[in-house]
């Protein structure tokens, strides 16, 4: 999103990368994740409303831009946006790939996940996750534990142990149903057309 890091040991700029403009949601524009932003330049990487871009775009820094990944891990080369996300008091690493299956095909993404899973959950998904609220995703935890979540069911794998299956309780399923309904409403509204940033005449 066209930012440069400052005050960090690694000074970086987005350069040719604009993957987050495609992969991530931008509520201020009613932009869905996985859909190119209407303000992405078609001729060159970058934002055609850079000076007027929404606040979320100004403040967003993926983990690479923040200096948390190796120089060669720029998201457009990895095929995934990697960032640390706070969900209430919980913090997790998110790996959101542009294409399904990109995580399994990338030794580097697997190495990043291994590095972080002992200190925080690592959630692996792709852009479909935002367009389909029931899309499956995986969570990697310490000691080789992995949760594969599909709808209200979770398959839990632990090294050397039989696979365990869990289903949300009735109350949790009802709560999830409400959240899914709200999410589908937002997706429908976004599909009716994104909002655009107003650019003052002469800019
Ligand atoms: S994914 Fe990271 S490096 Fe790429 S444009 Fe977004 S903030 Fe910049
Ligand atoms: S407004 Fe600009 S910075 Fe924000 S998502 Fe769109 S192209 Fe990217």
Ligand 2 center from residue 79 Cα (angstroms): 18
Strand order across the beta sheet in which 122-126 lies? 80-87, 90-97, 122-126, 137-140, 146-150, 153-157, 164-167
Report, as ranges of residue numbers, the positions in the chain whose pLDDT lies below 70: 1-10, 42-44, 193-194, 199-203
Q: Are strands 90-97 and 122-126 parallel, antiparallel or unpaired?
A: parallel
Ligand 2 center from residue 113 Cα (angstroms): 27
- Separation between Cα atoms, residue 91 and residue 102, nearest integer Å: 23
124 inside domain: yes
**What per-residue confidence (pLDDT) applies to 203?**
45
Pocket flag, ligand 2, residue 113 (CB < 6 Å): no
**How many domains would you assign to the chain?**
1
**What per-residue confidence (pLDDT) applies to 66?**
94
**What per-residue confidence (pLDDT) applies to 127?**
84
- Separation between Cα atoms, residue 126 and residue 138, nearest integer Å: 10
**What per-residue confidence (pLDDT) applies to 68?**
94
Residue 96 class from Cβ within 10 Å (0-12 exposed, 13-18 middle, 19+ buried)? buried
14 inside domain: no
Which residues span the domain enclosing 110? Answer: 19-191
- From atom 8 of ligand 1, which residue's Cα is the shortest distance away? 14
Q: What three-state secondary structure class fits 87?
A: strand
- Separation between Cα atoms, residue 53 and residue 39, nearest integer Å: 9
């Amino acid at each position: 999103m066209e930012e440069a890091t400052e005050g960090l040991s690694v000074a970086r700029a987005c350069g040719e990368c604009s993957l987050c403009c495609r992969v991530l949601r931008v509520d201020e524009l009613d932009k869905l994740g996985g859909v190119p932003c209407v303000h992405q330049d078609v001729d060159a990487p970058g934002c055609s409303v850079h000076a007027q871009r929404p606040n979320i775009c100004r403040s967003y820094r993926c983990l690479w831009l923040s200096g948390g990944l190796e120089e060669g891990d720029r998201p457009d080369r990895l095929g995934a946006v990697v960032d640390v996300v706070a969900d209430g008091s919980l913090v997790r690493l998110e790996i959101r790939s542009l294409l399904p299956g990109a995580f399994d095909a990338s030794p580097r993404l697997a190495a990043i996940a291994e590095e972080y899973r002992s200190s925080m959950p690592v959630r692996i998904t792709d852009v479909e996750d935002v367009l389909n609220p029931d899309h499956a995703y995986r969570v990697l935890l310490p000691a080789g534990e992995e949760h594969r979540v599909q709808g209200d069911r979770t398959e839990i794998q632990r090294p050397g142990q039989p696979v365990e299956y869990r289903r949300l309780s009735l109350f949790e399923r009802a709560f999830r149903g409400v959240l899914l309904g709200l999410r589908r409403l937002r997706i429908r509204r976004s599909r009716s057309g994104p909002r655009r940033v107003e650019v003052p005449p002469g800019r």
